[in-house]
Homo-oligomer: A and B are copies of this chain.
């Protein structure tokens, strides 16, 4: 499965500004991206980073500074560079495209190969893995008429967009794909459930889980 991984290296994780400096937010975002790329490969996927600015990554990178939805829709329609040697015509129709393909967000620090395998294997012309708060954290697209739109209540919108082009819709019920890490509260989930570069980065930075008022919270202690 071809897997597009959108990544914004310019100002990542702004809502973590209260606990991480700009440089740290960038490092943490890089660590989460590494974890996602590793999990995608372990699930048999071929990741491609779709970045909003030039970035070093352990996968092929396409830079597209346009808004997320436009960049992703064009990426899904493109024949991947690695496939052009396989005899694709220069005059391919739009429906050739690079499908099937998945779109997996770069801040899914809890994504596991098992969870991604369930995503890739799920039946449906369009498969949606919901994120918390009405979002879409991962998709599989098999119908070239489908277009993504990440603005707003994107889970609901993606289901409606699929139905509008008469594409069948599947869903994947996964906690690990539902957690996109962009708030301080999410760091607890990374520290408790993560076992990759992002969790290691947080621990190295002095984060640990403490219980305050009976509830787990992520706290930061000075490193020596």
Contacts and interface: CB of A to CB of B under 8 A. Distances in A.
A41 interface: no
Contacts of A155: 192-193
A153 B211 contact: yes
Interface string A173-203: 1111111000001001100110000000000
Interface in A151-172: 151-153, 155-156
A209 B189 CA distance: 26
Given A173-B115, A175-B174, A185 B133 contact: yes
A132 interface: yes
Interface string A190-224: 00110000000000000001010011100000000
A179 B132 contact: yes
Interface string A69-82: 00000000000000
Interface residues of A, number: 31
16 contacts: A129-B175, A130-B175, A130-B192, A130-B193, A132-B189, A133-B188, A134-B192, A134-B216, A152-B211, A152-B214, A153-B192, A156-B192, A173-B174, A174-B175, A175-B177, A178-B178
Given A129-B175, A155-B192, 14 more contacts: A130-B175, A130-B192, A130-B193, A132-B179, A132-B185, A133-B185, A133-B189, A133-B215, A134-B216, A152-B214, A173-B174, A173-B176, A174-B174, A174-B175
For the complex of A and B, the 8 pairs showing the least CB-CB separation, nearest first, are A134-B216, A175-B178, A152-B211, A153-B216, A134-B192, A133-B188, A134-B188, A173-B174
